[in-house]
Chain A
């Protein structure tokens, strides 16, 4: 018996002890010290599913949904899990090739990394979604995620509603990384202004998945889940039927329309031509159409109603009269002996009328739109002896203008409204050297020309002020928000506050109102009637550096207790009463009478059928189409013989002469056409003394 080896028992026990110590040490390291494994385990087994709430719905004034949601599915991929994907099946279903598959995978990895899901194919059709659903077990790492997509049952109000699109990095950064790649966010219109209200609260569901990425149920019975909260609805002042009519009337025209309820400031309709079907920028259609629209020279994405800057022309004249009346420079009975032009400043300013007595009083002067009369009272205002010099007089005049909402942003609840322009004295100081200018130099401001511009929204707001005899509400779309929060109330407060414009007397307004009524009785718009409704209006035919005169019409109805104020601008169309006039009266008729009478239908037919797109823009389309044709031909030829035919690609330009009056056309595109159409383009803008009316 080798009893002497008894001591070796201790050695063996020591070995046992050491082994257990090592194991415990490593367990301590894995389970207590290192925290990464818990995270890894979570990534392994817990799928985070974002529950997109449906965005809020926007209703019109009669509670009709002008924008709604439909459910669509996205195919999303988590790149690191795609081992074993049946690529052939997927490519076949999506009708793409392997190269495209690889490209999309690389894009997904670059965009969101390997471990986060990215959208592989957005907005699947119902059929494709069903097919993919069946084959999901062959596609580890892929998943279908539901999200609602906007739909527009009335196919109208594109510029008002705006569109939603995927966020870009700058939006993500600005949001403090609340948004993630692939989220949809309002990018323009009310969708953008009311993003916080409409988007609601996103929810997160934690799901358990197994090693094959199959969902096994909710994690911990859903105690960590947050419920999504649907976006809140907006109740707007838009009248969708009126909106549809406005858009219809702008068919094949460039311009803008704004109709406001003067009593509340609620916008009834706002159209910009050319427009588009908002469904073209919803869901899958967005990718297809957005690029084309953004590059279109007629700029269908551009909301001319709040961004277009047009010289108001004669539609400015009521304001000129109000200023002169308020300053006590004239009385309503003041007359001007016009015989066809205003000669007091050297070069004559032409007037459309030469007949004796057409400007015998303010009423007749407004009705006949006498240039001489308003040039004269403009000079009186600028050279008002109460203000000693031109600059001071001009500043007082500008003060009035800004009070009327001209040259300032009104604050409508749409993004990127333009303030248009009522020039500052510095502009003229630069043009004429400091203080070396007088009322004659800026004479045509008095008839709404020179450097004065206004947006259709501002023009409509001016009509509201006159209709209300001195007050207005900031024009807006949203009357109320569902479940209004205190923050919403603060936001909406400025639209609920009455703004009074200086202290112009009721008599002054009454005088101007009478004059504008006379416009429709025997004046420039006398041939435009609304059955059973007396209305007030002012036509405008604005000269501009881009071609034919803009046709402008501002009006409100009924004469007593007005319900609607409208402004219409049709670019390069001619006389105000010819095109803009009928559009304005048709809209008022529709709104007040709820129908369009048979006699007005003739006007409706005439206007909707007219094509008033400027030749330059038509030519652009023509060139684009012919290039496409040429490319098609080249492609067909290439099938047999490879001919390297240089294709003339037109220099892409987003320059829009109508929208950017202060920008010079460099004439690189459509050179001949443009120079022919825009004879005054290269000339000095201030040299406008030969403007006529």
Chain B
């Protein structure tokens, strides 16, 4: 059907360029991390003895894959969306039940020397499936029926991922609510959901008494500023009071009850470590039990993540305005920041290039995201638009959580930086995600169903 002239037709080259830039930065940063003075640079690429060599190989594989995706007919994605989604769920379940355990999480499938994390890939499939569902003419997000199915499609993989003990990856699926919001989900649900999430985190960090007072203060302030609207909307006051009551009940009663009476000590510990707060049980027996548990296996995890964040902040903070220069970062080059090639790759940028470099780097992502929205809004077919928003949401979530993690604004939940962090599965996923979007955008005049 196509000849070589029409392959490149309609392709958004700015996206391809951004992709190439980010992937290159990734390899360079991993290299900066590993390279020791006086070593041969190219040998590790050939014999795959170093991470940057492996990453370079992955970049090669992904480039080939990207070309294949660009050669694929757009209709293929709409046609197989549901099928792929099912396939993704199957893979996730397979990993859960027959996969091998890596660092306490059962999310890996090992085939020969090749390791794959299906929960990474199923982000793409879920995105496609959601796009497929929303693009149906019957779907209407103001109806509860559509809302539930949409949520189910998004959250089914999340449930499986949580079962695999990969909480961080599971949280990504919640970003699809942003897509659903764009497609007509009442804002109330988004606001309520976000509020409850915030309240949950707050009730873990602060004491119930403090929060009770804080909620009351906020409620009074809101009533004060909205008092003129009460005449028009008689229920507004009651909504505010109800919101205040729900928040107070969650913080003061529900959460303490859940933690103290339902959860087991190790679960409590894990929950608290998620918000970066040390958990010290009041009951001495329980404390002893926990100590024992900690010393046994995952003991260091909590201290470890605290240490990671401190070291990461030191690395980024020491970069200053202009940074120490490429290959001159003392913290990132001498292994002070753990996991610095995967989750903490941003430290290398922050330390080496400082505030200015970080801004330039972030602006690449910002351009990518805003460009994605531009692309989304120019699609004729709903499928493509929803998919584009899905891509933007996933990218946003990853970028936000990852960078906030390194600068101490978010708990350490192990989420890679898209296209930059070391890791084949992650690079593969984001490449597929992005190039399907570019392919769909090339056919933006078509109506895809």
Once A23-B362, A23-B400, A27-B355 are accepted as A-B contacts, the answer to whether A41 and B182 lie under 8 Å apart by CB is no
Interface of B is mostly: helix
Tell me the minimal C-beta distance from A99 to chain B in angstroms: 24
* Cα separation A205 to B178 with both chains bound (whole Å): 55
* Cα separation A180 to B402 with both chains bound (whole Å): 44
Residues of B389-418 whose CB lies within 8 A of A: 389, 392, 396, 400, 403-404, 407-409
Contact with B along A331-345 (1 / 0, CB 8 A): 000000000000000
Q: Is the CB of B350 within 8 A of A27?
A: yes
Inside 8 A of A12's CB, which chain B residues have their CB?
178, 181-182, 373, 389, 392
Residues of A162-184 whose CB lies within 8 A of B: none
Of the four ranges (under 10, 10 to 19, 20 to 34, 35 or more), the interface on chain B belongs to: 35 or more
Q: Is the CB of A31 within 8 A of B316?
A: yes
* Cα separation A24 to B350 with both chains bound (whole Å): 12
Inside 8 A of B37's CB, which chain A residues have their CB?
217
A34 within 8 A of B: yes
Residues of A1-49 whose CB lies within 8 A of B: 1-2, 5-6, 8-9, 11-13, 15-16, 19-20, 22-24, 26-28, 30-32, 34, 36-38, 40-42, 44-46
Residue on A with the closest CB to B182?
A8
Residue on A with the closest CB to B328?
A220
Inside 8 A of B396's CB, which chain A residues have their CB?
15-16, 19
Binds A, one of B47-55, B253-261, B331-339: B331-339
Tell me the minimal C-beta distance from B397 to chain A in angstroms: 10
Residues of A45-72 whose CB lies within 8 A of B: 45-46
Inside 8 A of B382's CB, which chain A residues have their CB?
1
Q: Is the CB of B182 within 8 A of A26?
A: no
Of B187, B311, B334, B407, the residue contacting A208 (CB under 8 A) is: B334
* Cα separation A293 to B404 with both chains bound (whole Å): 65
Once A24-B359, A41-B314, A41-B330 are accepted as A-B contacts, the answer to whether A5 and B183 lie under 8 Å apart by CB is yes
B320 within 8 A of A: yes
Q: Is the CB of B330 within 8 A of A31?
A: no
Total of A-B residue pairs, C-beta within 8 Å: 120
B88 within 8 A of A: no
Residues of B85-105 whose CB lies within 8 A of A: none
Tell me the minimal C-beta distance from A684 to chain B in angstroms: 76
Tell me the minimal C-beta distance from B377 to chain A in angstroms: 6
A593 within 8 A of B: no
B184 within 8 A of A: yes
Inside 8 A of A1's CB, which chain B residues have their CB?
382
Q: Is the CB of A34 within 8 A of B373?
A: no
* Cα separation A1 to B384 with both chains bound (whole Å): 13
Tell me the minimal C-beta distance from A34 to chain B in angstroms: 6
Inside 8 A of B358's CB, which chain A residues have their CB?
27, 31
Q: Is the CB of A211 within 8 A of B320?
A: no
Residues of A191-227 whose CB lies within 8 A of B: 208-212, 216-217, 219
Once A8-B182, A24-B359, A31-B320 are accepted as A-B contacts, the answer to whether A46 and B370 lie under 8 Å apart by CB is no
Once A5-B184, A24-B362 are accepted as A-B contacts, the answer to whether A19 and B400 lie under 8 Å apart by CB is yes
Inside 8 A of A9's CB, which chain B residues have their CB?
182, 373, 376-377
Inside 8 A of A26's CB, which chain B residues have their CB?
404, 407-409
* Cα separation A44 to B140 with both chains bound (whole Å): 57
B63 within 8 A of A: no
* Cα separation A209 to B382 with both chains bound (whole Å): 56
Tell me the minimal C-beta distance from B70 to chain A in angstroms: 26
B437 within 8 A of A: no
Of B182, B314, B354, the residue contacting A40 (CB under 8 A) is: B314
Q: Is the CB of A20 within 8 A of B316?
A: no
Once A9-B377, A27-B316, A31-B317 are accepted as A-B contacts, the answer to whether A44 and B184 lie under 8 Å apart by CB is no
* Cα separation A499 to B362 with both chains bound (whole Å): 82
Inside 8 A of A46's CB, which chain B residues have their CB?
330
Residue on A with the closest CB to B135?
A1
Inside 8 A of B335's CB, which chain A residues have their CB?
210-212
* Cα separation A45 to B382 with both chains bound (whole Å): 54
* Most chain B CB inside 10 Å of its own CB: which residue of A12, A32, A38, A40: A12
Inside 8 A of A44's CB, which chain B residues have their CB?
311, 314, 330-331, 336
* Cα separation A31 to B356 with both chains bound (whole Å): 10
Q: Is the CB of B407 within 8 A of A23?
A: yes
* Cα separation A407 to B376 with both chains bound (whole Å): 104
Q: Is the CB of A13 within 8 A of B407?
A: no
Residue on A with the closest CB to B385?
A1
Residues of B311-355 whose CB lies within 8 A of A: 311, 313-321, 330-331, 334-336, 350-351, 354-355
Of A2, A20, A23, the residue contacting B184 (CB under 8 A) is: A2
Q: Is the CB of A45 within 8 A of B400?
A: no
Once A8-B181, A16-B366, A24-B362 are accepted as A-B contacts, the answer to whether A31 and B321 lie under 8 Å apart by CB is yes
Q: Is the CB of A36 within 8 A of B317?
A: yes
* Cα separation A32 to B336 with both chains bound (whole Å): 21
Inside 8 A of A15's CB, which chain B residues have their CB?
178, 396
Q: Is the CB of A23 within 8 A of B404?
A: yes
Q: Is the CB of A32 within 8 A of B320?
A: yes
Inside 8 A of A5's CB, which chain B residues have their CB?
182-184
Q: Is the CB of B370 within 8 A of A211?
A: no
* Cα separation A327 to B225 with both chains bound (whole Å): 111
Tell me the minimal C-beta distance from A209 to chain B in angstroms: 7
* Cα separation A12 to B377 with both chains bound (whole Å): 12
Of A8, A11, A45, the residue contacting B330 (CB under 8 A) is: A45
Q: Is the CB of B334 within 8 A of A41?
A: no
Tell me the minimal C-beta distance from B290 to chain A in angstroms: 21
Q: Which 9 residue pairs are nearest across A and B when measured between Cβ atoms?
A: A37-B317, A41-B318, A45-B330, A210-B334, A30-B317, A31-B355, A211-B335, A38-B318, A40-B314
B residues near A (Cβ < 8 Å) are 37, 140-141, 178, 181-184, 187, 311, 313-321, 330-331, 334-336, 350-351, 354-355, 358-359, 362, 366, 369-370, 373, 376-377, 382, 389, 392, 396, 400, 403-404, 407-409
List 22 A–B pairs whose Cβ atoms lie within 8 Å, in order of A's numbering.
A9-B376, A12-B182, A12-B373, A19-B396, A20-B362, A22-B404, A22-B409, A24-B359, A26-B407, A26-B409, A27-B350, A27-B407, A30-B313, A30-B317, A31-B350, A32-B321, A32-B355, A42-B318, A45-B334, A46-B330, A209-B334, A216-B334
New A-B pairs, 11, CB < 8 Å, besides A9-B376, A41-B318: A2-B141, A8-B182, A9-B373, A19-B400, A22-B409, A23-B407, A37-B314, A38-B318, A41-B315, A44-B314, A211-B335
